[in-house]
Structure 1
């Protein structure tokens, strides 16, 4: 038990050092997840020393979570997936929660079948699947947990710019609710920064970042600027970045604008809350001195959007992650072949 707590303390120390070095690292999320995991192992190992009745209660709760938890989660994901299709259409990115829920049901059916038929091949397949899903699920929980913490960090007061990231337009020229949420949040952050006294006496500038897609009549940044100006935001405090087509380009081209006018400047980047942590990782990679904050998103949209963001981060480290998954699958194949 003491060993587990000691390992948890070591990972927690590395986590603290990682956060101090740069809050925008995915490694921080993994270190925090490992610290929590080993702390939990330590608690479970010491449960036998707990007062009478506590161990039995914990065991019953654990069995209920292990038995009913996956079924409930799969049902919720499936229901959310159906709602996403009804509200947002059948684009592949809107199907993630539905596919995840159905996939979980499929694995459960496969596990029951393997147990009922006593099939060696099916048992090896199920164990291999559970190992693969366990690894991916651990990283996903780390991602969600640390993204939650990152999104609640206090907004820096010394930023020179507020950068609002663009998204698609409705009808090729109108700002949709998702983007309007970002713009409203960006204006709020700009007003907060403008209220602070700055040593140089300058005022923060708001950058709207987004180029023109193939189905859009105007660049996203122009529609974003019009949205803000129509609602009373001063046009002189706006800068349009109208070349970017991806989040990576949002960062790169916005950085060029900021460095051109105020070399060495810092910024607060605004996007939706589900996108904030991945945007922070991309900002770090682009060399942008910026904190990312999120704007509210409809609850039904969050599960699929978060899965999409996690998948993108997962593939950013594809050499390590795909290597580990490949190793787990290879071990399963070797165990099956050894029979």
Structure 2
């Protein structure tokens, strides 16, 4: 079928575009060459079936079509969850916002990370009392940790250092959430200990004890990544997580959606969400 050949060509072209645009040649981008190969094989198989219908059992093409349709259905359902499964909530005046890291290049932060940090700056302008938890370790191909790169960018753009907590141990979204939760708990303990250094003495009976106000925690990441980050947070100790999304790179948007679908299925399978 000519449609399969066209899809294969488009996959190869898109692969070249994203590699040239962002240098993702060693990452998940290879999936587009895989898609192209699958389309070519299906195209050849279809041509063979048309020419030799009498010799090829019907169950074989039916099985192949069923597998493809099932894959497309799963992808569609996951993407619907990604972009409509997170209900809009009031995210103002959060106590902490976890900013998830992204790739840091030799010549600076990636476009995805810049969009997240610009969104964080905008959020702080409207909510100056919020503390940002910058989460991300240093990958083997990164000059510094993602958290440190984020800090440098934010401080350069006017954010106060005392509003930033660095979490530099995480290499995945699960670790981002888990280690950031620990960092928030440690910050809460430091603040509690500091407040107890000079306690206010009051006469018994002149005050009423009230329970501590629960802290409000949010996670800030790219739009395609919010659903998975939120679900992982609920699984790993932050059940009432707020989500803040920023736009993703339009050139890489389709690639990110495909990659995110695979990541969601994997995390669901291994129990991370």
CA 1:107–1:154: 2 relative to 1, 3 Å: farther
User: Are 2:269 and 1:269 aligned?
Assistant: no
What is the count of residue pairs matched by the alignment?
A: 245
CA 1:113–1:310: 2 relative to 1, 3 Å: same
Where in structure 2 are there 5+ consecutive unaligned residues? 190-213
Answer 1 or 2: which has greater helix percent: 1
C-alpha separation between the residues in 2 aligned to 1:252 and 1:211?
A: 13
User: Are 2:230 and 1:280 aligned?
Assistant: yes
1:74 Cα deviation from its structure 2 partner: 5.1
Deviations 1:216-241 (A, max 9, x none): 44322112111100111122211111
Q: Quote the residue 1:310 is aligned against.
A: 261
SS at match of 1:164: strand
Equivalent of 2:50, from 115, 125, 138? 115
What are the residue-to-residue correspondences of 1:102-251 with 2, within 5 Å?
A: 102-118=37-53, 121=56, 123-150=58-85, 153-171=88-106, 174-194=108-128, 203-251=129-177
C-alpha separation between the residues in 1 aligned to 2:40 and 2:87?
A: 34
CA 1:97–1:190: 2 relative to 1, 3 Å: farther
CA contact (8 A) 2:104 2:143 kept: no
Q: Quote the residue 1:64 is aligned against.
A: none
Deviations 1:57-76 (A, max 9, x none): xxxxxxxxxx9876765554
Moved more, 98-107 or 230-239: 98-107
C-alpha separation between the residues in 1 aligned to 2:52 and 2:77?
A: 36
CA 1:216–1:298: 2 relative to 1, 3 Å: closer
User: Are 2:7 and 1:81 aligned?
Assistant: no
1:140 Cα deviation from its structure 2 partner: 0.6
Where in structure 1 are there 5+ consecutive unaligned residues? 1-66, 195-202, 320-339
CA 1:112–1:142: 2 relative to 1, 3 Å: same
TM-score by length of 1: 0.64
C-alpha separation between the residues in 2 aligned to 1:216 and 1:298?
A: 20
CA 1:228–1:77: 2 relative to 1, 3 Å: same
Q: Quote the residue 1:298 is aligned against.
A: 249
1:104 Cα deviation from its structure 2 partner: 2.9
SS at match of 2:108: coil
Equivalent of 1:260, from 186, 201, 207? 186
